[in-house]
């Protein structure tokens, strides 16, 4: 299999650098792993679903929303409580809490069918971008998805980080 995975979060990117990073990584399928596909405020409005999909289309990148891999409200609350206990803001988080990881694995990844995922990507997929918002991959569920796919499918994973200061 010649598939390669790339993960990316939006925090820390501006519009130009975000889309250039996708192009530079040669992403041909963009997987949105968010439950809610909107961002508050204007800074990251370019990743609101409609705008994001339009720009990706212009770049020749196929968009896929995989909502079943998005943590639901209860799971997000588990992580929020762990962040609160550690007194760390969501954007400053460096790693996911153990309780969140365990719950995510039980509620989302245990039901995840890697072969169905590959089918959903289409036969021509070569470089797949897994997207959510957090800057650090280890602070986001996308890293759990990438790790699972890497292990089950034997594909390499690259994490793209913003070089901009937020």
For residue range 83-111, list pLDDT tens digits in order. 898 898 887 888 999 999 999 999 999 98
pLDDT surpasses 90 at 65: yes
Indicate the SS3 state at residue 27: coil
More confident residue, 54 or 42: 54
CA distance 100 to 52: 28
pLDDT for res 56: 98
CA distance 141 to 125: 22
CA distance 34 to 131: 8
Residue tagged 């993960």 (tokens): 7
Residue tagged 């890697």 (tokens): 114
pLDDT surpasses 70 at 79: yes
């Amino acid at each position: 299999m010649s598939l390669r995975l790339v993960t990316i979060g939006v925090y820390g990117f501006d519009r130009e650098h975000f889309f250039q990073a996708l192009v530079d990584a040669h992403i041909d399928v963009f997987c949105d792993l968010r439950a809610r596909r909107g961002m508050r405020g204007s800074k990251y409005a370019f990743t609101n679903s409609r705008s994001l999909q339009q720009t990706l289309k212009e770049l020749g990148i196929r968009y896929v929303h995989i909502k079943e891999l998005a943590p639901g409200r209860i799971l997000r609350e588990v992580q929020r409580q762990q962040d609160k206990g550690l007194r760390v803001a969501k954007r400053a988080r460096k790693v996911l809490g153990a309780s969140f990881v365990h719950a995510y694995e039980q509620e989302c990844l245990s039901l995840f069918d890697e072969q169905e995922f590959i089918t959903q990507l289409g036969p021509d997929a070569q470089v797949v971008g897994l997207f959510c918002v957090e800057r650090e991959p280890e602070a986001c569920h996308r890293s759990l998805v990438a790790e699972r796919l890497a292990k089950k499918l034997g594909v390499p994973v690259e994490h793209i980080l913003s070089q901009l200061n937020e």
